[in-house]
Amino acid sequence: MSPSPKKQPNRWIALLNIPLQMGIIIFLFSLLGQWLDSKYPNSNQWYTKGVTVFGVFVALYNVYRQVQEIDKHDS
């Protein structure tokens, strides 16, 4: 009997983790921005807004990277 090929995980299972990862990344960047605003006060909470938007871009890049990796393995 020949050994069965290594079964790869379903790509949809890998995609289920993406929203959780995005939420965690954005939340942590938001906390960093709030901490910066408390340490260096300003009138409009620019650190929270700016760092959170940067966190969104980091999360989107992470999604892009993961989807590219999944696509590479499916091909």
Q: How many CA atoms lie within 13 A of 68 on its CB side?
A: 6
Predicted local distance difference test score (pLDDT) of residue 15: 79
Question: Would the pTM count as exceeding 0.95?
Answer: no
Q: What is the pLDDT of residues 1-55, one digit of tens each?
A: 555 556 656 777 777 889 999 999 999 999 999 999 999 999 899 999 999 999 9
Which two three-digit tokens encode residue 7?
A: 């079964």
pLDDT (mean) for 56-69: 94
Predicted local distance difference test score (pLDDT) of residue 63: 93
**Calpha distance 58→5 (Å, rounded):** 36
Distance set, CA 34 to CA 9, 40, 61 (Å) = 38, 10, 23
SS (H, E, C) 29-47: HHHHHHHHHHHCCCCCCHH
How many residues belong to the chain?
75
